[in-house]
Amino acid sequence: MDVIQHILEIRNKISDLKAKNFRIGFVPTMGALHEGHLSLVRKAKEECNIVVVSIFVNPIQFNKPEDLKNYPRTIDNDLLMLEKENCDLVFTPSEAEMYPKTETLSFDFGALDKVMEGAFRPGHFIGVAIVVKKLFEIIQQDKAYFGEKDFQQLQIIKELVRQLNIPVEIIGCPIIREKDGLAMSSRNALLDPKMRILAPEIYKSLQNAALMERSCTPQILKEIVINEINATGLRVEYFEISNPQTLLPISDWKAITDAIGCIAVQAGKVRLIDNIKL
CB 153 within 8 A of CB 145: no
Angle at 245 between CA 171 and CA 58, to 5 degrees: 55
Q: Which of 48, 184, 195, 273 binds ligand AMP (CB under 6 A)?
A: 184
Residue 152 vs 205, nearer CB to ligand AMP: 152
Nearest-approach distance from CB 139 to ligand AMP, in angstroms: 14
Among candidate residues 224, 235, 219, 246, the one with its CA nearest the CA of residue 270: 235
Separation between Cα atoms, residue 99 and residue 246, nearest integer Å: 31
Angle at 264 between CA 259 and CA 266, to 5 degrees: 160
CA dihedral sign of residues 13, 168, 59, 146: negative
b/e for 24-60, b at 16 or more Cβ within 10 A?
A: bbbbbbbbbbbebbbbbbbbbbeebebbbbbbbbbeb
Q: Which of 17, 24, 183, 260 binds ligand AMP (CB under 6 A)?
A: 183
Nearest-approach distance from CB 196 to ligand AMP, in angstroms: 15
| DSSP summary character for residue 88 | -
Q: Which of 38, 40, 81, 229 binds ligand AMP (CB under 6 A)?
A: 40
Q: Which residues pair with 267 in a beta bridge?
A: 270
Q: Considering only 41-49, 80-88, 180-188, 241-249, which stretch makes contact with ligand AMP by CB under 6 A?
A: 180-188
Residue 37 vs 271, nearer CB to ligand AMP: 37
Amino acid at 141: Q
Cα 32 to its chain centre, rounded Å, is: 13
Residue with smallest beta-carbon separation from ligand AMP? 147
Amino acid at 222: K
Give yes or no: 37 in active site. yes
Residue 30 vs 195, nearer CB to ligand AMP: 30
**Is 173 among the residues that bind ligand AMP (CB under 6 A)?**
yes
Kindly identify the residues of this chain, within the stretch 131-150, that bind ligand AMP according to CB under 6 A.
Answer: 146-147, 149-150
Q: Considering only 89-97, 173-181, 202-210, 240-248, which stretch makes contact with ligand AMP by CB under 6 A?
A: 173-181
Q: Which of 176, 199, 267, 270 binds ligand AMP (CB under 6 A)?
A: 176
Q: Which of 14, 26, 36, 159 binds ligand AMP (CB under 6 A)?
A: 36
Q: What does the binding site for ligand AMP look like in residue numbers (CB under 6 A)?
A: 29-30, 36-37, 39-40, 146-147, 149-150, 173, 175-176, 183-186
Catalytic sites, residue numbers: 37
